[in-house]
Structure 1
Amino acid sequence: MGEVFGLIFDGWPHASLHYVVIFAVYELEDKRSQALLGVSPLDEGSQDVDAHIRLMSNVLSVYNETMEIVCFLVADNCTTNKSIALKLGVPLVGCASHRFNLAANKFYAEFEPILEDVNSLMSQLRQPNNHAELTKHTELRPVKCNVTCWSSTLAMVECYLRIRAEIKKVEAVEELVSTGSRHRKLVALGEHLKKPNSISKRLQREGIDLAQVRVLFDSVKVEYPVMSDYLKAGAKIVNSPVFEAAVVKKIDGQVLAIAEKKAQRQFETS
């Protein structure tokens, strides 16, 4: 894996355990490479900083490697991950998709009441009797919003707009269908969400780098200023702003400031 490398990790709950997946990212023959190192539950169910570091160390030991050669981390922008990076003394590159998700949530906060109504309607339509009635008029199934995936909001709104006429034929929920200005607001929201949704998909493409992320974020800020607090360079959510700025400049071939040179010095190999 080379003299130095980074770790990408993420976690999720299953049953009573919290699992973590760990990848190594490194340079091989002048190209970015990534390898799955392991998937494991945290010991004794603990999710604190030390438990994560122990897991990383144990996984690396399988490959006869130690934490000393880990030079950066990539993970969600949560407090625990920031504390892990601080304790290890390495920069944390926050997940761009997670950051964008938080920004998007801020964008449609003003639409929250009407979105909650639509989500409630979709829940009602999934009830056996209502769903049976709906299927008499359309093959499309009602889509609920997933709070952990903001793009599902667009899917829900688009679904609602497509089957709105059919929903009106379900007597039990007919009165829950938006009309007038509320309906027009949903139509406008559906259009507004299309660009952020396309950006979200691009952020998940294989091979995207921090410089490309910066271009995407800057383009969104212009059209959706309310998202700037999360997307601007040096935003509060960014754990290692100088390091990220250095990486972007390095990719773009720009001259680094003194602090930026220092931030990326650990990547220099003999």
Structure 2
Amino acid sequence: MAPLIGEDGGDHSAEGHRVFLDSMLQRDYGKSLYDCFFILGDNCAFNKRLATIAHLPLIGCASRWLNIAVQAYLQFYKDELDTIQNLMRKLRTLNHAAKLRHAMVDRYFCLAGFIEADDEELCELMASPRSVKRLRSLPSDLKRIESVSKSLQCETTTILDVRLWFDGLIEVEPSFAEYLAPRARIVHSPDFESGCTKVLEGEGAKLTRAESAALEPFAIEHSESESDSESGSFVAQLRRKCRRVQKPQEYGLLSLIPPTSNMVERFFSLARVTFGHERHSLSPYTLEMVLFLRVNKKYWDVRTVEQCTQVTDCSFWLPSMDLMVVLSGNDDIVKLERTD
């Protein structure tokens, strides 16, 4: 996390954020915006504009797409759901919490057989037989959606996984195609995402010209020494050249591209809790270090803390992150040094 601290915060446009990202990457990480391969975030107009002016593909958050598709899908059942919601409020059996619609429909069918049909007050709120018939299929559809939504939270989920799950939902409910199809209007960089899907599926040879161009930064170049290329007979050289032409281009790191921004959203939730409930006059620098250690807690344990408290000055290396953490016991200073 690199918050905009001590900077002019007046320009919140996409161009202002592009300039900030470029300067921040050079200042703190020795990189530039040209070293970035993609942007991951919500498909809002701001992020689309930022990706366009930065000349980077924008990977939309799959969880956000699913949420929009579900909201549009539930509009077909709006009248029936409103009727059941009014009835359940009257019965006072529903706790208004997350998964409201799903829990409400399930709860209604569990209680429907025990509701007295001669109760005049409840009869006015009861759903019609036609509405009940329409809602019979809704719980099973919501369970499928919930299964996909939970799977999207996994850190090992790839773009290929998302495409397979979304195609399955579209097959069950074709109306989802408006938001979940590979080339839906909400998708900012369809060539990039479809290209990633084909490569991860082992169909890299079927890439279109636009998809190959979008994946060019991820292409793996296989260098061949001049002596190897000239060794052997003339026929052997021609055969090697033919194999190189026929072999599809290989791409790296595509399986590591996250298809959702859930990890970032969880980090901001953690930052809000830490800043709101545990700040206690912490300086911005100390707060950033606390968040850094919390997010990367899998790289250190109690033995590391004990080692740091037993000596005045301590440093330890995080090999997985290629990072050196230096702790000074005299003035409670935490320094992070990137190793070369």
| TM bin (shorter chain) | 0.5 to 0.7
Runs of 5+ unmatched residues, structure 1: 1-36, 135-139
Q: Determine if contact 1:167/1:177 at 8 Å carries over to the other structure.
A: no
User: Judging changes above 3 Å, is the alpha-carbon distance between structure 1 residues 143 and 183 closer, same or farther for their aligned structure 2 residues?
Assistant: farther
Displacement of 1:234 in angstroms is 1.4
Question: Could you say which residue in structure 2 is the equivalent of 1:114?
Answer: 80
Give the superposition deviation at 1:196: 1.8
Report the 3-state secondary structure (helix = DSSP H, G, I; strand = E; otherwise coil) of the residue aligned with 1:176: coil
Residue aligning to 1:76: 42
Residue of 120, 124, 146 corresponding to 1:197? 146
What code does the residue aligned with 2:41 have? Answer: A
Q: Is the 8 A contact 1:233 1:241 kept in 2?
A: yes
* Coordinate RMSD, CA, aligned: 3.5
Q: How does 1:242-261 map to 2 (within 5 A)?
A: 242-254=191-203, 255=205, 256-261=207-212
Quick one: distance in 1 between partners of 2:18 and 2:191? 24
The answer to whether the 8 A contact 1:164-1:177 is kept is no
Alpha-carbon deviations, 1:126-178, whole Å to 9, x = none?
Answer: xxxx8xxx4xxxxx64236x7xxxx543233224444567887xx99744343
Cα deviation, residue 243, structure 1: 0.8
Q: 2:15 aligns with which of 50, 64, 67?
A: 50
TM-score normalized by the length of structure 2: 0.53
Q: What percent identity do the matched residue pairs reach? A: 29
Contact in 2 for aligned 1:154/1:197 (Cα 8 Å): no
C-alpha contact 2:15 2:53 (8 A) present in aligned 1: no
1:213 counterpart (144, 154, 162): 162
The answer for the alignment partner of 2:33 in structure 1 is: 67
Larger radius of gyration: 2
CA pair 182-215 structure 1, distance change in 2 beyond 3 A: same
Match 2:55 to one of 75, 89, 107: 89
2:218 counterpart residue number: 267
Aligned residue runs from structure 1 range 16-27, under 5 A: none
The residue correspondences of 1:211-250 to structure 2 (distance < 5 A) are 211-250=160-199
CA contact (8 A) 1:142 1:160 kept: no
Match of 1:102 in 2: 68
Q: Give the structure-1-normalised TM-score.
A: 0.65
Q: Distance in 1 between matches of 2:104 and 2:19?
A: 41
The number of equivalent residue pairs is 215
Shift, 1:59, TM fit: 5.1
Find the aligned partners of 1:55 and 1:63 in 2 and give their Cα distance.
Answer: 13
What is the distance in 2 between the residues matched to 1:233 and 1:93? 12
Residue aligned with 2:51, SS: helix
Displacement after TM superposition at 1:248 (Å): 1.0
In the alignment, which residue of structure 2 is the partner of 1:157? 105
Instruction: Quote the Cα distance in structure 1 between the aligned partners of 2:74 and 2:219.
Output: 43
Once the two structures are TM-superposed, the CA of residue 103 in structure 1 deviates from its matched residue by 2.0
Q: Secondary structure at the match of 2:186?
A: coil
Structure 1 residues 117 and 39: CA distance shift in structure 2, 3 A:
farther
- Equivalent in the alignment of 1:178: 127
Q: 2:84–2:108: 8 Å Cα contact kept in structure 1?
A: yes
Q: Following the alignment from structure 1 to structure 2, what is the Cα–Cα distance between the partners of residues 117 and 194?
A: 21
Alignment-mate amino acid for residue 102 of structure 1 = I
Q: Distance in 2 between matches of 1:177 and 1:46?
A: 54
Structure 1 CA distance, aligned partners of 2:11 and 2:85?
Answer: 34
- Note closer, same or farther for the CA distance 1:113–1:83 as it changes in structure 2 (3 Å cut): same
Cα contact 1:96–1:203 (8 A) shared by 2: yes
Compute the displacement of 1:43 (Å): 7.1
Deviation of 1:120 after TM superposition, in Å, equals 4.9
In 1: Cα distance, 2:125 partner to 2:10 partner: 43
Output the CA distance in 2 between the equivalents of 1:102 and 1:187: 22
Give how far 1:55 is off. Answer: 5.2
Contact 2:87/2:125 (<8 A) preserved: yes
SS in 1 for 2:37: strand
